[in-house]
Amino acid sequence: MIEEGQLNTKELGEKIVKVIKTIYDPEIPVDIYELGLIYDVFVNEDNEVKILMTLTTPNCPVAESLPLEVEEKVKSISIVKDAEVEITFDPPWNHDLMSEEAKLALGML
């Protein structure tokens, strides 16, 4: 069994995605990863994490709190030294970014 302190960057990335999948948009009953709000997760050799994400709209009511929640949950992984969330609207979010699972959950399939 691999101890948490021995995770490689790929394994840590997978662990980060699992944590992100516990965060839900308060208006949509689907986690933010399946919604397609997470564009990329970068992990360097020092276990510092940068997450590139978007919001459903620039005026999203959780524009202040959602990125902070992502950052705090990722930082709660003991092996993560630091985490930063960057918000982008390029490309803008649309329904095509959602996973099949999210579309099914929302009755779009």
Question: What's the domain count of the chain?
Answer: 1
Task: Answer yes or no: is 101 within a domain.
Answer: no
Where residue 64 sits, what CATH number does that domain have? 3.30.300.130
Question: Which residues, other chains included, contact 34 with Cβ-Cβ below 8 Å and sequence gap of 6+?
Answer: 21, 98, 99, 101, 102, 105
Task: Answer yes or no: is 26 within a domain.
Answer: yes
Task: Answer yes or no: is 82 within a domain.
Answer: yes
Question: Could you read off the pLDDT of 64-82 as tens digits, one per residue?
Answer: 899 999 999 999 999 999 9
Q: Is the pTM of this model over 0.85?
A: yes
Task: Answer yes or no: is 74 within a domain.
Answer: yes
Mean pLDDT for the chain? 91
Task: Answer yes or no: is 41 within a domain.
Answer: yes
Mean predicted confidence (pLDDT) in 43-64: 91
CA atoms within 13 A on the CB side of 31: 13
Task: Answer yes or no: is 108 within a domain.
Answer: no
